[in-house]
Amino acid sequence: MTALDLSGPVDLAARALLGCTLTANGVTVRLTEVEAYSGTGEDPASHAHRGRTPRNAIMFGPAGYAYVYFTYGMHYCVNVVTGVEGTASAVLLRAGEIVGGLPAARSRRPAARTDVELARGPARLCTALAIDRDFYGTNLLGDPPLLQPPAVAAGPVSTGPRVGVTGAHDVPWRFWLTGDPTVSAYRRHVPKRVAPGVGDA
């Protein structure tokens, strides 16, 4: 099994993550869908678009570390930092198949109707793996590595626009294993409408 190299361009690193396994808190997920985000000034959908902050500092490297953020006041999402140290980029882990620790994953996701739904979506994936803010900055390629390359080739890969972003909507940097049932549904971001008179001078 070859070592996982995440030092290249973020779109190539995203493809390389498909089929990899991530283990956390007694559960292992096989990654089936990911989403790439580039760095400062290049990608308006990236958390690092406006530069380094205390929240996104880990995105600037080195590669192989976990960037975890809290969204909508209720969900955690986990990313894998990629690229060359000093230049921000990361890959959001969007969905996967639970391949280890299934009872624990089921207990954490009691609303899932089937096992296919346990880690279908970035928030569900974090819930199944019990990933929260304490996972921020974890070295996923340490000894032993929590992130492992696939034992066999992952298979055909599809690409398309990213989900729910407010900028660069149509950049085709979402990658998924073609036909895999755990892949999440695509939803384009729709700006909220302002009611007539709201904000008028």
Structural domains in the chain, sorted by start: 10-177 (3.10.300.10)
How many CA atoms does the CB half-sphere of 150 hold within 13 Å? 16
In this structure, the chain runs to a length of 201
With b for 16 or more beta-carbon neighbours within 10 A and e for fewer, the 143-156 pattern comes to: eebbbbbbeeebee
CA–CA gap between residue 54 and residue 126 (Å, rounded) = 21
In tens digits, the chain (201 residues) has pLDDT values of 467 889 999 999 999 999 999 999 999 999 999 999 998 677 877 888 888 888 889 999 899 999 999 987 789 999 999 999 999 999 999 999 999 999 999 999 999 999 999 999 999 999 999 999 999 999 999 999 999 999 888 789 999 988 877 767 778 899 999 999 999 887 665 555 544 444 433
User: By the 8 A CB rule, do 106 and 100 touch?
Assistant: no
Q: Give the end-to-end CA distance of the chain in Å, rounded to a whole number.
A: 64
